Amino acid sequence: MKTSLPKDFLWGGALAAHQFEGGWNKGGKGASVVDVMTAGAHGVAREITETVEADKFYPNHEAIDFYHHYKEDIALFSEMGLNCLRTSIAWTRIFPTGIEEEPNEAGLQFYDDVFDELIKHKIEPIITLSHFEIPLYIAQEYGGFRDKRVVDLFAKFAEVCFTRYQHKVKYWMTFNEINNQMDTNTPLFLWTNSGVTVKPGENAKEVMYTVAHHELLASAKAVAIGKKINPDFEIGCMVSHVPIYPYSCRPADIMAAEDAMRQRFFFADVHCRGAYPNYALKEFEREGYDITITEEDKDILQNGTVDYIGFSYYMSTVVKADITQDNTGNVVNGGLANGVENPYIESSDWGWAIDPTGLRYTMNRLYDRYQLPLFIVENGFGAIDELEEDGKIHDDTRIDYLKKHIDALELAVTYDGVPLIGYTPWGIIDLVSFTTGEMKKRYGMIYVDRDNEGNGSMKRYKKDSFEWYKKVIATNGKKR
């Protein structure tokens, strides 16, 4: 018999500082790696510049200017009925270059103001410490997370945030979509996750594993520090989960999909188990990767395992054995949207396969593997929305997408018995797209009048999905 979602289920929305705050150099904030990334488009990569160049457009700089609109926006979130909001703390608001002795008080105060406003509206802040917002200084002077000293710079940033907000924030995540960078064919990910560029002649995969080791240490240290500050904290990891289906029942396809899935699981394996998985250690040995893992490192990993798994789910993909790997061993057709076409599934305008069942499948695989509570901290439908003359936006396709994904998550909870903390659909208010840098690719239930070139009134409008989601939350998911 169907039972409903838990009474204390968290219904929210998800955002990331650099994609919606704006105010990129306000209140003493320093530049982060995303602040030097220009706008791209579908199929046109964003350019990484070394510094901010006057003749270029950087969409994140103003974004949707939440920095100055936060009271208005939070009032709208409250009207929608959200009981939580996931966002990130921009590292460079707190430590403008990442290496200062003392944190920047104006940056700390900004988040105090935002969290107080949320709490006033009974909206619980859910915080990611690093959502692609590494200080540019660390990327340029230290080579990002290549340098082991950055582990302690991150741990210090985490400690400052945990201490300051210990009475306002309970749920934390360390690194957003930390496993994206496993796809070394897309240089953007190593830059945004870790502040790293691969030099000519280097083996990208080896660089990635070195960086990964440092980030996993940084995460584990942060978890241990956070638990000392407040044992009631719930500190999770955050992984992007794109299930990879075998192209056919041919055993070679099954094994290819399994190999590709392990690449996706690698980061969560270490986060959740506190040790390196067998297949990764074998890969280091086989490929001759020089990854230094000391006994002290092993202890740190073991003592900093996560409490829950935060994950994003947008799509699934398919792997076929013969074309699975390129000459560096990377999964070519297992990348975000580059899989073999799945004839049973439709895709969005950006080629992201729409697969609600894949969410239920993902929840079961993650829970079977780790037995930790799950939190869906991103899911959503990127589309071009039209503002009609009457000020309305009819986003039925988005409603349909979200409804089917809520159907799937409910089944995973009520039929399969997977514990789920909450659901925060991505980009609850329109914001800058991460991969393309566009405003055109919108996810929100609130429309923001702003275009790809940065023009527009910044006025906010409710989309049809606003009223729909309000009803979903008010009935704890029963009416949808």
Binding mask 333-372 for ligand BGP (x = CB under 6 A): ----------------------------------------
Residue closer to ligand BGP (CB basis): 67 or 142: 67
Stretch in the footprint of ligand BGP (CB under 6 A) among 136-144, 324-332, 395-403, 432-440: 432-440
- The count of C-alpha atoms lying within 13 angstroms of the C-alpha of 10, restricted to the half-sphere facing its C-beta, is 25
Select the residue interacting with ligand BGP from 433, 440, 448, 463 (CB under 6 A): 433
Select the residue interacting with ligand BGP from 10, 16, 134, 235 (CB under 6 A): 16
**Are 148 and 216 a contacting pair, CB within 8 Å?**
no
Residue closer to ligand BGP (CB basis): 245 or 311: 311
- What is the rounded distance in angstroms from the CA atom of residue 331 to the CA atom of residue 253? 13
Listed residue (192, 45, 55, 53) closest to 133, CA to CA: 192
Q: Which two tokens stand for residue 330?
A: 């990377």
By CB under 6 A, tell whether 435 contacts ligand BGP: yes
Listed residue (326, 36, 318) closest to 204, CA to CA: 326
Phi, psi of 293 (to 5 degrees): -120, 105
Catalytic residue selected from 21, 206, 283, 378 = 378
Residues 6+ apart with CB under 8 A from 1: none
At closest approach, how far in Å is the CB of 185 from ligand BGP?
16
Listed residue (447, 427, 465) closest to 20, CA to CA: 427
By CB under 6 A, tell whether 426 contacts ligand BGP: yes
Residues 6+ apart with CB under 8 A from 313: 241, 242, 358, 359, 362, 376, 378, 379, 405
The identity of residue 37, as a single letter, is: M
Stretch in the footprint of ligand BGP (CB under 6 A) among 327-335, 397-405, 408-416, 428-436: 428-436
- What is the rounded distance in angstroms from the CA atom of residue 63 to the CA atom of residue 18? 8
At closest approach, how far in Å is the CB of 74 from ligand BGP?
20
- What is the rounded distance in angstroms from the CA atom of residue 143 to the CA atom of residue 149? 11
Number of chain residues interacting with ligand BGP (CB under 6 A): 14
By CB under 6 A, tell whether 311 contacts ligand BGP: no
Residues 6+ apart with CB under 8 A from 369: 265, 268, 272
312-331 positions binding ligand BGP, by CB under 6 A: 312
Residue closer to ligand BGP (CB basis): 93 or 441: 441
N residues, the chain: 480
At closest approach, how far in Å is the CB of 238 from ligand BGP?
8
By CB under 6 A, tell whether 441 contacts ligand BGP: yes
Stretch in the footprint of ligand BGP (CB under 6 A) among 65-73, 200-208, 254-262, 426-434: 426-434
Binding mask 141-160 for ligand BGP (x = CB under 6 A): --------------------
**296 catalytic per annotation:** no
Stretch in the footprint of ligand BGP (CB under 6 A) among 151-159, 258-266, 337-345, 429-437: 429-437
Region for residue 100 given its phi and psi (left: phi exceeds 0; alpha: psi -120 to 50; beta: otherwise): beta
**Are 20 and 37 a contacting pair, CB within 8 Å?**
no
* Catalytic residue positions, numbered: 378
User: Which residues sit at the interface with ligand BGP, rule CB under 6 A?
Assistant: 16, 19, 176-177, 240, 312, 378, 382, 426, 433-436, 441
